[in-house]
């Protein structure tokens, strides 16, 4: 059974050399195989300088790990591309590539589905199906690079799933994606977005890797936040702010607060005043996201005047704030939208 075999893309170069020793081979073979993987080898037979006997042995105990590209949609309004990838078990995940001329950013998924239950998000409607392995997270980036011919320089873990609910695999993925002879994406170019799983936020800070943390806030009031995001029933806003401050203290990285503006739900002056109080003096930034319409939900985005009024209220209180540009709005830009339509 293939799922008993080991996926080689789960390894850093050093770990692959160790794996070679475990199966009775010389460590330098690990470096050779690693190099082939990142040159785009899809099968062991593509690895021309690896002896046939070793290729046959690898076939028995391991596999490289390849996603199949199910669908690619290209936006007509900007340089965004949306991808659906098929996993070995037939599940489907989605990713987004945003080309900003000076950099290419990939927004990648971390789980099939999600159990966080955020009301404005299409990813969570069927709950969590399963966690992605490190290679399944990694290969989204590799497939995007193969398709576009461009290097992905920036990563956001903001696709389907909660990265801190798949923490062990996320940690390994971060090691692998940063490996110098692999994709070599710098930690400072990686942003992890979380609903606010507080115990794991402290563990992430303790790793001492300078990735950027983005917290989905969506309301400064516990009761309102719990209506929008059921996970908020377990974690209070004041404790989230403490966990974010701890992250800043440990990593010296600015924290981003993601705030999806929903018409008539969380876009009033009471909210902007409370956010200003909560975040006063913090090394942070607020990213206002006018929500994408999800067919199965009633939420709507506020009018532009409301959006900019909200931003100005925060800026007046010295909270750096931006309004996110909606990328790929014509190709189902919101998390989970495309995957659900494709079924």
Q: Identify the active-site residue in 121, 195, 284, 335.
A: 335
Q: Is 22 a catalytic residue?
A: no
Choose among 324, 325, 323, 326: nearest CA to 334.
326
Tokens for 121, please give them.
Answer: 């998000």
- Catalytic choice (13, 25, 94, 162): 94
Strands 68-74 and 80-86: antiparallel
94 is catalytic: yes
Q: In terms of C-beta density within 10 A (0-12 exposed, 13-18 middle, 19 or more buried), how is residue 167 classed?
A: middle
> For the CA atoms of 273, 279, 281, 284, what is the dihedral angle to 10 degrees?
-130
Which residues are marked as active site? 94, 335
């Amino acid at each position: 059974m293939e799922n008993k075999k080991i996926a080689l893309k789960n390894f850093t170069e050093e770990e692959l050399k160790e794996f070679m020793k475990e199966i009775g081979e010389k460590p330098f073979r690990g470096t050779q195989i690693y190099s082939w993987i990142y040159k785009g080898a899809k099968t062991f037979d593509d690895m021309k300088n690896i002896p046939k006997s070793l290729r046959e042995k690898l076939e028995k105990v391991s596999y490289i790990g390849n996603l199949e590209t199910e669908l690619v949609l290209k936006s007509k309004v900007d340089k965004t591309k949306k991808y659906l990838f098929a996993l070995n078990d037939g599940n489907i995940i989605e990713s987004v590539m945003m080309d900003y001329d000076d950099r290419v950013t990939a927004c990648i998924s971390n789980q099939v589905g999600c159990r966080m239950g955020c009301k404005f998000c299409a990813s969570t409607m069927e709950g969590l199906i399963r966690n992605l392995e490190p290679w399944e997270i990694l290969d989204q980036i590799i497939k995007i690079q193969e398709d576009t011919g461009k290097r992905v320089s920036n990563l956001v873990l903001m696709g389907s799933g909660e990265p801190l609910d798949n923490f062990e695999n996320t940690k390994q993925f971060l090691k692998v994606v940063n490996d110098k002879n692999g994709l070599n994406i710098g930690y400072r170019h990686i942003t992890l977005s979380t609903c606010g799983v507080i115990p794991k936020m402290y563990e992430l800070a303790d790793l001492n890797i300078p990735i950027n943390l983005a917290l989905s806030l969506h309301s400064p009031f516990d009761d309102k936040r719990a209506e929008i995001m059921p996970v908020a029933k377990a974690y209070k806003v004041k404790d989230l702010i403490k966990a974010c401050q701890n992250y800043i203290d440990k990593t010296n990285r600015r924290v981003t607060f993601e705030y999806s503006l929903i018409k008539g739900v969380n876009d009033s002056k009471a909210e902007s005043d409370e956010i200003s109080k909560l975040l006063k003096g913090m090394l942070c930034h607020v990213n206002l996201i006018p929500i994408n319409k999800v067919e199965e939900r009633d939420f709507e985005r506020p009018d532009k005047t409301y959006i900019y009024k909200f931003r100005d209220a925060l800026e007046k209180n010295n909270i750096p704030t931006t309004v996110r540009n909606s990328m790929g709005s014509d190709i189902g830009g919101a998390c989970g939208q495309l995957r659900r339509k494709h079924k």
